[in-house]
Amino acid sequence: MHEINYSVSFSKPHTHYCEVEISLNTADLDSVVFSMPVWTPGSYLIREFAKNVEGVWAENFSGEKIPVEKINKNSWKADTSKRKNIRFKYKVYCNELTVRTSEINSEHAFLSNAGVFMFVRGYENRKCILEINLPPGWKKISTGLSKDSESVYSAENYDVFIDSPVEAGNQNILEFDIKGIRHYICLSGKGNYDEDTLIKDFKTIAEEEIKLLGGEIPYKDYTYIVHLVEKGGGGLEHLNSFVVQFPRWNFTNEKIYKKFLGLVSHEFFHLWNVKRIRPEALGPFDYDNENYTKGLWVAEGWTSFYDNLILRRCGILTDEEYYEFLSVELNDVMRFEGRFHQSVEESSFDTWIKFYRKDENYNNTQVSYYTKGAIVALMLNLEIIKSTGSKKSLDDALRILYEDYKKDRSAGYSDKRVKEAAEEVCGKKLDEFWDKFIHGTEELPVNDYLNYAGLKLVNENETESVMQDFEVKLIEGKLIITKIHAGTFAYESGLNVNDEIIALDGIRMNEELLNSFFKDRKKGDKVKFLISRKGLTEEIVAELLNPLPKYKIEALENRTSEQEKVLLKWLADGNS
């Protein structure tokens, strides 16, 4: 028995448990160690999935119990001396529906495999076979795993196995083909979607991205797992599948639906950028520890640049809609001082301790490698287009990295190689660009780059009026400050997060009054805040400042022919 055999059952799904069994031939080993990953690829945070494991025990194929000892936080050692074949069993509690965690209930089971199936140390490269035992009434299984029979699936190794989540129940499954390759849209939960519209839009996005990367389809089939939820969102990419969440009744809201299609575009794009074109550190994976890389600004940032651009190229977004979506990313970075304190490389490297643990000071000290990475990608794209007379773009650098992958599928790219690919396309050295915007934290001259394409940034808050530049929340009837941004009057005056606002200029405040209080105030005016801080009242006088900027992208009235060419190269078909 050279493969690892897994089985999963749901004897009482309403209790949120699944039962897992791992069977293998232990040959002449005296012991075997079974370990649960502490994180899942694509979501860079230690999540300690072993916390949900219960009832661990083992036996040989004759039913004789085998001693098992827990040896660290996520590993169990089974005594296999004089026992050739063993079964290792445990239960997992699954009651958290996100794209990176699992949920089991009376309606369905979603298994994010890294948090359910342990690996056998030393056996990670062996074929994994999974038997899924459905409870009565459940009829459907959706997964990127290879289907061997009605309830048996397989993967060539453990990496592929846990990179293939499982949805089981009675989900609605839509299908379409591209070049004879089958695609499955699996919709779990009720929603007001139109089946034909989903098929058309998902297929259009897939075809556009396949065309961008040369027309080759790098998978035998593709599974979209879509969880329709009351509220929530997000997505997680996998080798030949993805998982996303979307509020079930929002399909008829055109703007929200197009944002959702941006998520679909993003996660599908990852099947190239991350799952195949990947930083060196992201494979083979270390499932016990953090996997550090400075390259997430490429893995996620470039993907964030392309997700809505793909929607523009395939006609789902107009130019104006695309600029609006792009402005959201610009404002996420350009309004706040965090861009001067953390580079995109630092943001990538520190994701394990910062990105998923944002606090009220986040925008003042940090940036997202998603959004700042996307802006840097935008600038790099325009740098390449301008330098090559609109003959080349970032598309060509991406294709170079994809060709690297096809030459050696086991290797990831180095930080140096990304720069080399960009320089090869650009036809010049990019040392200054890298020093300022990749390694460094200099101001991003976005407006200068947009000008290449006949566009400009407009600050909608460029006014003598002031605005409420701090965020509040009504908690138990009290107006509590929840965020204060560096550079604002609230920050400079000494107001703090968790301060309760009682009165302004002697006027008792409520939500309605606070929302209108600053409307007629001007820069330089002074306002007296009466606050409660840790149970003690205090007065703080704030001198009002101009509001934080809020940017939008507009077209220049008279574009030159050169600017038109740059814009066309940016927005048009990736192979134009």
pLDDT band per the 50, 70, 90 thresholds, residue 576: very low
Of 83-87, 273-277, 365-369, the poorest mean pLDDT is in: 83-87
d(CA 17, CA 10): 7
What mean pLDDT comes out for the span 482-500?
96
Using a 10 angstrom Cβ sphere, with 0-12 exposed, 13-18 middle and 19 or more buried, the burial of residue 557 is exposed
Q: Kindly report the CATH number assigned to the domain that includes residue 69.
A: 2.60.40.3650
Place of tokens 């090869």: 424
416 within some domain: yes
CATH code of the domain containing 383:
1.10.390.10
Question: For the chain, what is the mean pLDDT?
Answer: 96
Q: For 138-172, what is each residue's pLDDT tens digit?
A: 999 999 999 999 999 999 999 999 999 999 999 99
The verdict on 178 and 164 lying in the same domain is no
Q: Are residues 161 and 176 in the same domain?
A: no
**Predicted local distance difference test score (pLDDT) of residue 573:** 63
How high is the pLDDT of residue 195?
A: 98
pLDDT in tens, 10-36: 999 999 999 999 999 987 789 999 999
Cα–Cα distance for residue pair 288/35, rounded to 1 Å = 9
Tell me if 287 is assigned to some domain.
no
pTM equals 0.96
**pLDDT for position 84:** 81
CATH number for the domain including 176? Answer: 3.30.2010.30
Average pLDDT over residues 505-533: 94
CATH number of 516's domain: 2.30.42.10
Per-residue pLDDT at 1 exceeds 60 = no
pLDDT tens, residue by residue, 56-81: 999 998 889 999 999 999 999 999 98
Same domain (yes/no): 160, 38: yes
Domain endpoint, select from 144, 168, 192: 168
In the predicted model, is pLDDT for residue 575 greater than 70? no
Range of the domain at 42: 4-168
d(CA 183, CA 200): 12
Confidence of residue 194 (pLDDT cuts 50, 70, 90): very high
Q: What gap in Å lies between CA 572 and CA 314, rounded to an integer?
A: 9
> In the numeric block, which tokens belong to residue 212?
């961008």
What CA dihedral angle connects 553, 556, 562 and 566, to 10 degrees? 10
Three-class SS state of 242: strand
Q: What is the pLDDT of residue 283?
A: 85
Same-domain pairing of 181 and 151: no
pLDDT digits (tens, 9 = 90+) for 309-320: 999 999 999 999
- Stretch 116-124: mean pLDDT: 96
Same domain, 49 and 164: yes
* Nearest Cα to Cα of residue 487 among 351, 363, 345: 363
Residues 153 and 10 in one domain: yes
CA-to-CA separations, 537 to 130, 253, 473, 531, in angstroms, rounded: 62, 45, 19, 6
- One domain for residues 156 and 194: no
The pLDDT of 43-56, averaged and rounded, is 98
Q: Give the count of domains, the chain.
A: 4
- Are 213 and 304 within one domain? no
Over residues 446-462, the pLDDT tens digits come to 999 999 999 999 999 98
